Amino acid sequence: MSIENNIKNYLSELPPTVRLAAVSKFHPFDCIRQAYQAGQRIFAESRPQELFKKVQQQAQCQDMNDIEWHFIGHLQTNKLKMVLPYVSLVQSVDSLHLLQAIDSWGRSNGKIVDILLECHVSSDDTKQGFSYDELLDFVSSDVEYPFVHVCGVMGMATLTDDEDVIRADFQRLLDRMDLLQDWIGESKNLPHGLSAAGQNASSWRCDQISMGMTGDWRIAVEMGSTMVRIGSGIFGPREL
């Protein structure tokens, strides 16, 4: 199957409420071009250097300036400047420390950064993200982050063929989303953050649930995902 056909298949199978993030990490820019030509616009990268290089390649193609870049990998605070100017969403904010650093970067650079909180919901302990307790601390604290818009959650299920395990992981992510939305509903953050940077109040929604990858996206969509992140299902095995 060609990249073009894969994109078309996903776009035709996904409900209109679910966005497709094409995970182009470890694939050369030409793969992005092929997906773009098939109508794909959201591309997700996991390494700052690689994202930065691809953004520069994109700049050389006048016809591809409406790509929306997302970041989905572990982001070290000393790499923010390679990532934050170029992305429309950081899906992988996995600690309060990183969130604080993004907020101060936003303050210095006059940009409000849209983020998702990556939540640890799998039983794989290599996976990063906010634990339940960390998320509870975050939503219980009074500290405001006016240059960060928390737009939802991102999570990965355990790598397994056992559907029950995957469903239980995704359900945990949905529960974290409920916790977050309760907080946003009450949050003083919203008006404060928006006025601080002069943004339009209607533009911030906390409604994104990024869940589902090549192996488990059907389950994720059935359970209420609003964005799937598909890499190998579109581009094949990773190369670079």
Q: Of 180, 213, 220, 221, which one interacts with ligand PLP (CB under 6 A)?
A: 213
Q: In whole angstroms, how close is the CB of 171 to ligand PLP at the nearest point? A: 19
The answer to whether residue 214 forms part of the interface with ligand PLP (CB under 6 A) is yes
The answer to whether residue 72 forms part of the interface with ligand PLP (CB under 6 A) is yes
The answer to whether residue 173 forms part of the interface with ligand PLP (CB under 6 A) is no
Question: Count of CB atoms within 10 A of residue 212's CB?
Answer: 29
AA letter at 13: E
Whichever of 8 and 107 has its CB closer to ligand PLP, that residue is 8
Whichever of 72 and 209 has its CB closer to ligand PLP, that residue is 72
**Could you give the 3-state DSSP secondary structure of residue 215?**
coil
Whichever of 6 and 189 has its CB closer to ligand PLP, that residue is 6
Q: What are phi and psi of 71, to 5 degrees?
A: -110, 130
**Binding residues for ligand PLP restricted to 49-68, rule: CB under 6 A:** none
Whichever of 158 and 187 has its CB closer to ligand PLP, that residue is 158
Largest interatomic CA distance in the chain: 51
Contact, 171 vs 109, CB < 8 A?
no
Question: Count of CB atoms within 10 A of residue 143's CB?
Answer: 10
Cα distance between residue 43 and residue 65, in whole Å: 12
The answer to whether residue 230 forms part of the interface with ligand PLP (CB under 6 A) is yes
Cα distance between residue 23 and residue 122, in whole Å: 20
Whichever of 135 and 190 has its CB closer to ligand PLP, that residue is 135
Q: Which residues bind ligand PLP (CB under 6 A)?
A: 23, 25, 46, 72, 156, 213-215, 229-233
